[in-house]
Structure 1
Amino acid sequence: MDIPRIFNVSESAHRIHNPFTPEKLATLGTALRLESETRVLDLGSGSGEMLCTWARDYQINGTGIDLSPLFTEQAKLRAEELGVTDRVEFIHGDAAGYVAGEKVGVAACLGATWIGGGVAGTIELLKQSLHTGGIILIGEPYWLRLPSTEDVAKGCLAGSISDFLLLPELLASFGTLGYDVVEMVLANQDGWDRYEAAKWLTMRRWLDANPDDDFAKEVRDQLTSEPERYAAYTREYLGWGVFALIAR
């Protein structure tokens, strides 16, 4: 059970597997007014930076589920580094369909809404783990401006233009699902650059260390094409943010 290998290679040096910076994660925690001992569930928890830093800074208790054995192990090491192993637990597993055994105050899925077949399905999944009145966090891309063609959308690694919404439409869609948007924190250009460009050095270092690996051609192809693709498409068209929701 694992994610595609290219992500384990290209994002192996990442602590945050989305366009948020550490500062943005801290801003989100502050914005949510997290209380000590709040239970947080994170589906698709990656290398655990959100839960680990929030456990350190806000004394939350958290559980993270991720499909990558590598990222799950990195999350456990991060918990040890920050001295929060008594507050957070990381489980290697499929977050799709995961429901917490004990209700939580915050249920999150940041950048992995595929686990529920999209935003609406992921919200339905998260609410099964949530206390009445608790907060759902959804991390999701949105169009900064609509692509002019489907080819442009595919250049942003979307399947089609309809995969994402403009920000006002995304916010309105949460209301249609029966939720108030009570906070949002949006990634900025620097966050996108740090997320994407950091992959390139990681891939180059991996290629230098593994020239004869059967996977080297795929990594080489990614390294060759990604800087130009990112600059032409994702950087120009895609935003990303975390949206805090409470059921009406």
Structure 2
Amino acid sequence: MTDTDLPPRLTRLAFHGPISEDRAARLVDKLARSAPAGVLDIGCGWGELMLRILEAAPGATGLGVDVNADDLARGRRNAAARGLAGRARFVEGPASTTARGPADLVLCLGAGQALAEEEPYNPAAVLRALRGLVAPGGRVLLGEGFWQRPPAPGELALMWPGASADDHHDLAGLVDLAVGAGFRVERIETANDDEWEEFESGYLADEEEWLAANAGHPAAAGIRERVDRHRASWLRGYRGILGIAYLTLVPVG
């Protein structure tokens, strides 16, 4: 069995998170207006938002850090295809130990665990780490989970392994943590239902299509079990309960 026998990885997703093209365009426009010289993307995946910011801010350079080699290779290919290879670097390694910052613009979109590896997950520690990575007068764009309402025990049991009501704050509590970490909150946005559905459908689409055409493949049973488990986790667990906030943060002088 080779990799070419298996489903491709996340080809239906432009971004590794629930963010629409319209929202991405607005964020890129607003963030590029500050003319950042350097962009740091923590847990970048293939760094799509970073690349779009580099296109909108011609003087900027970008550094994306992630542990997934396949995603980083995709980012490098995309950068080369868009004439950005000389301004975008993708580095494999843990964000907690990779040399980085301070940067004028720091992106951390759904990747806070890359900065706060202790258990349980602590968004306050993520925000403190981000405060140390952004240059004076710069910006942080944080994509972070929050509870839209308190989850019931039965709902938590269907989410991710070990899910706890303490894993996230509500939106107001998350914003309070950002202020407590030394930021002012320039902008607050939250992913909507359409963005979640596009993301969750796109997240599984490659594998769902592959399973429909390869039911007898030796790897099908394991892939089917994982796909069905993820879909159930979303539909019966965190759908309508877990939100994603996009916070534009300004460090206090």
In 1, distance between residues paired with 2:16 and 2:177? Answer: 25
- Alignment size in residue pairs: 238
Whole-Å separation in 1 of the counterparts to 2:232 and 2:134: 42
Structure 1 residue 42: Cα displacement:
0.4
- In the other structure, the counterpart of 1:153 is 156
**Quick check: 1:62–1:87 contact (8 Å CA) kept in 2?**
yes
* Corresponding residue for residue 127 of structure 1: 131
Cα distance in 2 for partners of 1:126, 1:26 equals: 23
Kept after mapping to 1: 8 A contact 2:45/2:66? yes
2:29 partner SS: helix
User: Scaled by the length of structure 1, what TM-score is found?
Assistant: 0.85
Q: How does 1:67-106 map to 2 (within 5 A)?
A: 67-100=67-100, 103-106=102-105
Q: Which runs of 5+ in 1 are unaligned?
A: 1-7
CA distance in 2, matches of 1:210, 1:130: 49
Could you tell me which residue of structure 2 aligns to residue 230 of structure 1? 234
CA contact (8 A) 2:46 2:74 kept: yes
1:159-178 → structure 2 map (5 Å cutoff):
159-178=163-182
Query: Paired residue for 1:113?
Result: 112
The DSSP-based 3-state class of the residue aligned with 2:240 is helix
Displacement of 1:141 in angstroms is 0.9
**Equivalent residue letter for 2:84:** V
Distance 1:37 1:163, change over 3 A: closer
Give runs of aligned pairs for residues 8-47 of structure 1, distance below 5 A. Answer: 11-47=10-46
For the 8 Å contact 1:97–1:125, the answer to whether it is kept is no
Q: Structure 2 regions of 5+ residues with no counterpart?
A: 1-6, 117-121
Supply the RMSD in Å over aligned alpha carbons.
Answer: 2.4
CA offset digits 1:198-218 (Å, max 9, x no partner): 12221124444595455x433
- Residue 143, structure 1, aligned to residue 142, structure 2: no
> Sequence identity of aligned pairs in percent?
23
Report the CA distance between 1:169 and its aligned residue: 1.4
Q: Distance in 2 between matches of 1:98 and 1:126?
A: 14
Aligned-pair CA distance for 1:70: 0.6
Question: Contact 2:127–2:177 (CA<8 Å) still a contact in 1?
Answer: no
Does the residue aligned with 1:236 lie in a helix, a strand or coil?
Answer: coil
Aligned to 1:221: 225
Determine which structure has the larger helix proportion and give its number. 1
SS at match of 1:147: coil
Kept in 1: contact 2:146–2:243 (CA 8 A): yes
Q: Is the 8 A contact 2:12 2:206 kept in 1?
A: yes
Change (3 A) 1:42 1:139: same
- Tell me the TM-score normalised to structure 2 length: 0.83
